[in-house]
Amino acid sequence: MIPNILSIAGSDPSGGAGIQADLKAISANGGYAMAALTALTAQNTKGVRAVDLIRPEMVTAQIAAIREDIRIDAVKIGMLGSADLIAAVVAALAGLSVPVVLDPVMVAKGGDRLLAAEAVTALRKGMVPRAAVITPNLPEAADLLGCAVAQSRSEMRDQARGLRVMGARAVYLKGGHLGGTDSPDLLLDGDGETWFEGARHATANTHGTGCTLSSALATQLARTPNLRTAAQAARAYTHRAIAAADGLSVGHGHGPLDHFFAARG
């Protein structure tokens, strides 16, 4: 059975991140993609120009319309933007017993803030404990914890543990910001820790990497209950999409991944 995956996130008109990246990644991983928009953005590969948050009532209505008609097998949550939107999404998902993957979108790659600073507490208390797994990068993890960005694997481990103390059932902490030739990710849950190793691919085309990984992970979790298996598959897909991205010619900044590399042969 093809799993139905709901993405709750903001829109990126350039197609590299947000809902657009989610729909591509879900589809490429074998899921049927659905979307509830939380924000409209004006952005391209060079940065965010404007953000217009959707009314919480409209976000609630979108999710309710899907729930009353369509089976949902997993949920990916991305940009929420405000405390009111966080509360609306938490309430709209009440009683839904499927894997929820939270990508805590807080700051865009160009440095633009996508989650109001005063909403961070709402994310910590309302959404982090609701998720089956959260997938922060190192700056996002530091923002959630109120500490400096991790500079080593040991600090990554400490921060992943801190996020579990905060209420996260599982943490997939992305180590791409460490620098160097390697790009290690850490999965930490109640069964222990798993490091995913890999060489860094030298490219500027990394726009939407977090959106892509979290959407792939949500889709894989709908296909297998084993978190490590799902995480490995999602990571492998994302790295192949990054490696293939140099074949695209999209924009003049941080270009997008090639989500459909497999279809291009």
- How many residues are recorded in the chain? 265
Crossing angle of helices 227-244 and 209-223, in 10° steps, is 140
Catalytic residue among 15, 31, 210, 255: 210
Q: Is 146 a catalytic residue?
A: no
pLDDT one digit per residue (tens) for the chain, 265 residues: 999 999 999 999 999 999 999 999 999 999 999 999 999 999 999 999 999 999 999 999 999 999 999 999 999 999 999 999 999 999 999 999 999 999 998 766 655 666 777 788 999 999 999 999 999 999 999 999 999 999 999 999 999 999 999 999 999 999 877 877 788 999 999 999 999 998 888 888 999 999 999 999 999 999 999 999 999 999 999 999 999 999 999 999 999 999 999 998 7
Lateral strand order in the sheet of 192-196 = 47-53, 32-44, 4-11, 74-77, 100-102, 133-134, 171-174, 185-189, 192-196
Report in angstroms the alpha-carbon separations of 62 from 10, 36, 66, 99: 13, 6, 7, 19
Q: Using alpha carbons, select from 6, 47, 75, 77 the residue that is nearest to residue 207.
A: 47
Q: Which two tokens stand for residue 262?
A: 């497999």
The predicted pLDDT at position 113 comes to 64
Q: How far apart are CA 208 and CA 259, in angstroms?
A: 10
Considering the domain boundaries, does residue 108 fall inside one? yes
Catalytic residue among 208, 212, 238, 255: 208
Catalytic residue among 81, 109, 135, 211: 211
The predicted pLDDT at position 58 comes to 98
The predicted pLDDT at position 110 comes to 59
Considering the domain boundaries, does residue 105 fall inside one? yes
Q: Which two tokens stand for residue 57?
A: 């009532």
How many domains does the chain contain in total? 1
Considering the domain boundaries, does residue 33 fall inside one? yes
The predicted pLDDT at position 171 comes to 98
Considering the domain boundaries, does residue 58 fall inside one? yes
Catalytic residue among 41, 45, 135, 206: 206
Q: How far apart are CA 61 and CA 64, in angstroms?
A: 5
The predicted pLDDT at position 111 comes to 59
The predicted pLDDT at position 202 comes to 84
Q: Is 31 a catalytic residue?
A: no
Catalytic residue among 16, 78, 174, 255: 174
Q: How far apart are CA 230 and CA 219, in angstroms?
A: 8
Query: Is beta strand 185-189 parallel, antiparallel or unpaired with respect to 192-196?
Result: antiparallel
Degrees, nearest 5: CA angle 230-81-10: 60
CATH number at residue 51: 3.40.1190.20
Q: Is 174 a catalytic residue?
A: yes
Q: Is 208 a catalytic residue?
A: yes
Considering the domain boundaries, does residue 212 fall inside one? yes
Considering the domain boundaries, does residue 26 fall inside one? yes
Answer whether 9's CB lies under 8 Å from 77's CB. Answer: yes
The predicted pLDDT at position 193 comes to 96
Q: Which two tokens stand for residue 36?
A: 């509830």
What's the domain range around 106? 4-131+203-264
Q: Is 18 a catalytic residue?
A: no
Q: Is 224 a catalytic residue?
A: no
Considering the domain boundaries, does residue 166 fall inside one? no
Considering the domain boundaries, does residue 227 fall inside one? yes
The helix (H) or strand (E) run that includes residue 75 is: strand 74-77
The predicted pLDDT at position 228 comes to 97
Degrees, nearest 5: CA angle 155-157-160: 110
Q: Which two tokens stand for residue 104?
A: 């805590």
Report in angstroms the alpha-carbon separations of 5 from 42, 70, 195, 218: 25, 10, 26, 7
The predicted pLDDT at position 200 comes to 82
